[in-house]
């Protein structure tokens, strides 16, 4: 779940909590979060909806009180930066598609078995395997994607696109692509994979950026 503004927290989170309970039978009982205004507004919204969630606020300037989440977030950002570096994204594409990279990192995390476990996080939560497990592809791999509505009979029936992830709540072979001409996301399962990546075709070498947070500055 990605938010453009912090003020969106309560509008997006309350329906998410309800979906967890009604669809998956998961009851959220406690939330530990920063002691900031948007989280207090979320608590008020949860009280109003009678969700009966207990909020536990960390002290200002002490992120170690929520250390597990803070470390997981830092690790996720490092992995996001790594796959964008490997993709050869320029600054514009990094800012446009860091959420796609992060989503892909999350999808991969959900199918990795942790030390001491025998099942993936996805299986432990949903009691089933992910639909995309058998359809994995390399981030920013190029493909020819079928054009659904050609402008005329002489138009190309396929277009080159850049793979960036898997469509949620769909069949596992429905992929997310960047349309290079518009920089918009398209979904397709009718594809022919090319054995090269975006960075290879553009002759872009992986970049090295020292500060992971610089990649998502302003978001």
pLDDT digits (tens, 9 = 90+) for 118-131: 999 999 888 889 99
Tokens describing residue 1:
């779940």
DSSP lists the bridge partners of residue 159 as 145
38 and 93 both lie in a single domain: no
pLDDT, tens digit (0-9, with 9 covering 90-100), for 74-114: 899 999 999 999 999 988 999 999 999 999 999 999 999 98
Using alpha carbons only, how large is the chain's radius of gyration in Å? 20
pLDDT, tens digit (0-9, with 9 covering 90-100), for 187-199: 999 999 998 889 8
46 and 87 both lie in a single domain: no
Q: Average model confidence (pLDDT) for the chain?
A: 85
100 and 54 both lie in a single domain: no
27 and 118 both lie in a single domain: no
More confident residue, 157 or 80: 80
15 and 76 both lie in a single domain: no
Q: Which domain holds residue 123?
A: 69-201
Domain annotation covers residue 206: no
Q: How far apart are CA 184 and CA 125, in angstroms?
A: 32
**pLDDT tops 60 at residue 13:** yes
Nearest alpha carbon to residue 46 among 23, 16, 2, 70: 16
35 and 128 both lie in a single domain: no
The mean per-residue pLDDT over the stretch 141-158 comes to 81
- Give residue 176's pLDDT: 96
Q: How far apart are CA 47 and CA 139, in angstroms?
A: 42
Domain annotation covers residue 73: yes
| CA distances in angstroms from 31 to 20, 41, 43, 59, 73, listed in the order given | 14, 13, 9, 14, 16
Domain annotation covers residue 174: yes
- Give residue 127's pLDDT: 87
Tokens describing residue 41:
């507004």
Domain annotation covers residue 133: yes
**pLDDT tops 50 at residue 216:** no
Inter-residue contact 162 to 177 (CB < 8 Å): yes
Domain annotation covers residue 219: no
What is the bridge-based pairing of β-strands 191-197 and 141-146? Answer: antiparallel
112 and 157 both lie in a single domain: yes
pLDDT, tens digit (0-9, with 9 covering 90-100), for 48-63: 999 999 999 988 777 7
93 and 190 both lie in a single domain: yes
- Per the structure, how many domains does the chain have? 2
Nearest alpha carbon to residue 126 among 23, 33, 50: 23
DSSP lists the bridge partners of residue 32 as 56
DSSP code, position 90 = -
54 and 130 both lie in a single domain: no
170 and 74 both lie in a single domain: yes
Inter-residue contact 77 to 212 (CB < 8 Å): yes
Q: How far apart are CA 189 and CA 161, in angstroms?
A: 12
pLDDT, tens digit (0-9, with 9 covering 90-100), for 15-46: 999 999 998 888 999 998 888 888 999 999 99
**pLDDT tops 70 at residue 214:** no
115 and 172 both lie in a single domain: yes
57 and 78 both lie in a single domain: no
Inter-residue contact 212 to 81 (CB < 8 Å): yes
């Amino acid at each position: 779940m990605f938010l453009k503004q912090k003020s969106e927290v309560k509008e997006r989170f309350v329906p998410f909590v309800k979906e967890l309970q009604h669809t998956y039978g998961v009851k959220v009982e406690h939330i530990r979060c920063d002691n900031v205004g948007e989280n207090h507004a979320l608590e008020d919204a949860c009280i109003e909806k009678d969700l009966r969630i207990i909020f536990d606020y960390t002290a200002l300037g002490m992120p170690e009180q929520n250390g597990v989440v803070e470390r997981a977030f830092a690790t996720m950002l490092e992995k996001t930066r790594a796959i964008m570096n490997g993709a050869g994204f320029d600054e514009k594409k990094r800012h446009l598609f860091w959420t796609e990279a992060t989503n892909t990192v999350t999808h991969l995390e959900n199918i990795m078995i942790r030390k001491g476990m025998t099942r993936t996080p996805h299986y432990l939560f949903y009691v089933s395997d992910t639909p995309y497990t058998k359809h994995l592809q390399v981030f920013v791999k190029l493909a020819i994607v079928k054009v659904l509505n050609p402008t005329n009979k002489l138009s190309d029936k396929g277009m080159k696109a850049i793979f960036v992830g898997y469509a949620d709540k769909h069949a596992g072979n429905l992929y997310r692509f960047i349309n290079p001409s518009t920089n918009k996301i398209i979904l397709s399962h009718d594809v022919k994979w090319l054995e090269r990546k975006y960075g290879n075709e553009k002759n872009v070498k992986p970049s090295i950026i020292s500060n992971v947070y610089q990649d998502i500055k302003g978001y």
